[in-house]
Chain A
Amino acid sequence: MDELNLEDQLDRQLREAARYIDDDGFTTRVLRQLPPRRRPRQSLRATILLGTTTAASVLAYVLSDGGRFVSVHFERLATLPTLWLFALALGSGMLVTAGGLVAAISKSREFQS
């Protein structure tokens, strides 16, 4: 029992003797030596996005009988009342603007961090 107490006491003294070492610029020195940050592979991401968009467009064109649906829908649009057309244009414009704003805000946050 005494032997155990003595061991506990020795361990406690050892732990107390291990004083906290102040950073004193150590972390800064380590960070300065780190290799440059890996940049996300933007070109690869852009290529994938462009490639899939093009492929999807070509597929849609082929499956829609040579894009006939475009002329059909333009004909249908031409028959719409002026007020409807105006509302459609306004809605589309607002949607695109909102999308652009969201993208710009998320990009600026990325730069700030």
Chain B
Amino acid sequence: MELTDADLIARVLVDDDQHAFGELVRRHQSSVRGLLRQLTRTDLELADDLGQETFLRAYKNIRSFRGEAKFSTWLYRIAYNCFRENARRRKELVGVDEERLQAEVDPQTVDPGLRHDLMHALSLLPLPERTAVLLCCQNGLSHDEAARVLDIPLGTVKTNVLRGREKLKRTLAAWGPN
């Protein structure tokens, strides 16, 4: 039987079980790295560095995880804070790496043209809207959960999701019919 996140967290807390923490990393690395790749506008190297920093912070502060939210939501919050601190340090974010983005395309799941358009359109959104759309529309967080991750009012999240969606639709429509 597969252990739940809560079981693994308990093992880390009680026995400092690093194998259990490794399993948590394996389970959540894809969604955390995916979020960071979009936030950093597909700078894979920076996103993975921030991903590692996210999990290291999670390990060091796992005692502060009270289980009120899902573990993934807690990780997103740490990831977003890592990204914000890094962005503040760097002052400006890097641009979209088109070649790397193209290499990431999995043609079996989504029409490559649409995928490229979508991701490109997403990367063009302003950061607050992009983050809200990523968390709520792509990662399936509720508005309330996203508000906790981003540490902003619920109304602001709703507005950002709405605006982000509208802009995405407008951009995709302007680029041609799907």
Report which A residues bind B (CB closer than 8 A): 6-7, 10-11, 13-23, 26-27, 29-31, 33-35, 37-38
Q: How far is the CA of A31 from the CA of B59 in the complex (A)?
A: 10
- Tell me the total A-B contact number using a CB cutoff of 8 A: 79
Residues of A within 8 A of B138 (CB): 11, 14-15, 17-18
Given A31-B18, A37-B18: A18 and B25 within 8 A (CB)?
no
Q: Which residue of A lies closest to B35 (CB)?
A: A18
Are the C-beta atoms of B33 and A26 separated by less than 8 Å?
A: yes
Q: How far is the CA of A34 from the CA of B16 in the complex (A)?
A: 11
Asked whether any CB of chain A lies closer than 8 Å to the CB of B72, the reply is no
Asked whether any CB of chain A lies closer than 8 Å to the CB of B73, the reply is no
Q: How far is the CA of A19 from the CA of B22 in the complex (A)?
A: 21
Stretch at the interface among B76-84, B90-98, B110-118, B149-157: B110-118
How far is the CB of B25 from the nearest CB of chain A, in Å?
5
Residues of B within 8 A of A30 (CB): 22, 25, 29, 52, 55-56
